[in-house]
Amino acid sequence: MPEFEIHPSILSGETADIYFVRTLEVLKKAGLNPVATMEVFPSRGGTLCGMEEVKALLQKVLPPGAEVRGLGEGERMERKEVVLRVKAPYQSYAVYETAYLGILAHCSAWATAAREVVEAAQGIPVIGFGARHVHPLVAGQLDYASQVGGCAGGSSVLGGKLMGRPAMGTMPHALIICFGDTVEATLAFDRYMPPEVPRISLVDTFKDEPEESLRVAQALGKRLQGVRLDTPTERGRVTPDLVKETRARLDQAGFPHVGIVVSGGLDPERIRQFIAQGAPVTAFGVGSHISSAPPIDFTADLHEVDGRAIAKRGRIPGITPNPRLKRII
């Protein structure tokens, strides 16, 4: 299971909406601390993610005897389905509503977007490359959510730790530019990286992609596991035909073992085009489609106070039945 560290600013309430902080102050001074049941539901369906981090937060702040029920990490959730229910003295969790809603909003959006590209890939592995598009303090959560959504791995070190898997990646253009030659950079990578790190060379920096693929394949032979095509938009991006040509030239030269990784502005539609046109892709690297997914709004409502059914207008008082919920605390 992932081990989430809850940041001190969250535990202190500094990340909370100010009106929750003021609410807690009023309740304490009024001596009012009812046992309240809060229910949380999403504004749209998708893949639920963030529950393990929410659980880690609540375990730190709720008193003994509290009861928390929820859906499992990675489960499908429907619009307005109750995915989390907290029953505890309200003061114990009043200031954390902002935090657990935010965790669920972003993580579920990322996992849902990841599920979209994974399904489009039809069994071809997808690697999450989105860490560079988010604040570094949530890069690990992004990669974790991507993998909950079905990605085979993520690029950040922390994302790998959270999932208990090695981080995945190839090499950046910067390494190749520093060496001034793709083959030299790949040979150095092979020389200095431990054997468990895949030898996958980036082949679009200086020369034609099929030509560069042959150069590194001839230099590394069986040690080369793959090449990555990341052609920029200025050069027309990676196309199914480019993948097919690269594959054909590698095969003709006696390198059928070398896989082809495709990255650069991929989304479900482009991935479906590669699949439909029979492009022999070994893996896809997807970043911004996952990282830029709009948050899924989650709402938290009190439905019971000291055993009395209650709710604001427009909501039905009392516990909302959902037999899918399991006790998690």
129-157 pLDDT per residue, tens: 999 999 999 999 999 999 999 999 999 99
In this prediction, residues 200-215 reach a mean pLDDT of 97
Mean pLDDT of the chain: 97
In a domain, 321, yes or no: yes
Q: What is the CATH number of the domain that holds 210?
A: 3.20.20.70
What's the confidence (pLDDT) of residue 73? 97
Q: Is the domain of 277 the same as that of 145? A: yes
In a domain, 1, yes or no: no
Distance in Å from the first CA to the final CA of the chain:
15
Q: Is the domain of 303 the same as that of 287? A: no
Q: Is the domain of 273 the same as that of 307? A: no
Amino acid letter, residue 142: L
Model confidence, pTM: 0.95
Q: Is the domain of 90 the same as that of 194? A: no
Residue 130 DSSP label:
-
- Give exposure, 175-186, as e/b (b: 16+ Cβ within 10 Å): bbeebeebbebb
In a domain, 176, yes or no: yes
Q: Is the domain of 172 the same as that of 206? A: yes
Residue 243 DSSP label:
H
Q: HSE on the CB side for 189, CA within 13 Å? A: 29
What's the confidence (pLDDT) of residue 246? 98
Residue 262 DSSP label:
E
Residue 236, Ramachandran bin (φ over 0: left; ψ between -120 and 50: alpha; else beta): left
In a domain, 38, yes or no: yes
In a domain, 70, yes or no: yes
Q: How does residue 181 score in pLDDT terms, banded at 50, 70 and 90?
A: very high
Tokens of 72: 């499992």
pLDDT tens for 107-135 read 999 999 999 999 999 999 999 999 999 99
In this prediction, residues 224-244 reach a mean pLDDT of 96
Euclidean distance between CA atoms 307 and 318, whole angstroms:
9
In a domain, 3, yes or no: no
In this prediction, residues 211-222 reach a mean pLDDT of 97
Q: Is the domain of 301 the same as that of 208? A: no
Amino acid letter, residue 15: T
DSSP E strands: which ranges in the chain?
35-42, 46-47, 67-70, 76-77, 84-89, 126-128, 153-154, 200-202, 226-229, 259-263, 283-286, 298-305, 308-309, 326-327
pLDDT tens for 250-275 read 999 999 999 999 999 999 999 999 99
In the numeric block, the tokens 């492009």 are attached to 279
pLDDT of residue 97 exceeding 80 = yes
DSSP E strands: which ranges in 204-286?
226-229, 259-263, 283-286
What's the confidence (pLDDT) of residue 1? 76
Question: Percentage of residues in the chain with pLDDT exceeding 70?
Answer: 100
Q: Is the domain of 100 the same as that of 185? A: no
Q: Is the domain of 127 the same as that of 230? A: yes
Q: How does residue 2 score in pLDDT terms, banded at 50, 70 and 90?
A: confident
In this prediction, residues 9-26 reach a mean pLDDT of 97
In this prediction, residues 200-224 reach a mean pLDDT of 97
Q: Is the domain of 248 the same as that of 214? A: yes
Q: Is the domain of 207 the same as that of 284? A: yes
Tell me which residue range forms the domain holding 129. Answer: 112-291
pLDDT tens for 46-65 read 999 999 999 999 999 999 99
Q: Is the domain of 287 the same as that of 301? A: no
In this prediction, residues 57-74 reach a mean pLDDT of 98
pLDDT tens for 160-176 read 999 999 999 999 999 99
In a domain, 277, yes or no: yes
Q: What is the CATH number of the domain that holds 52?
A: 3.20.140.10
What's the confidence (pLDDT) of residue 74? 97
In a domain, 214, yes or no: yes
Q: Is the domain of 199 the same as that of 52? A: no
Euclidean distance between CA atoms 45 and 66, whole angstroms:
28
The count of structural domains within the chain is: 2
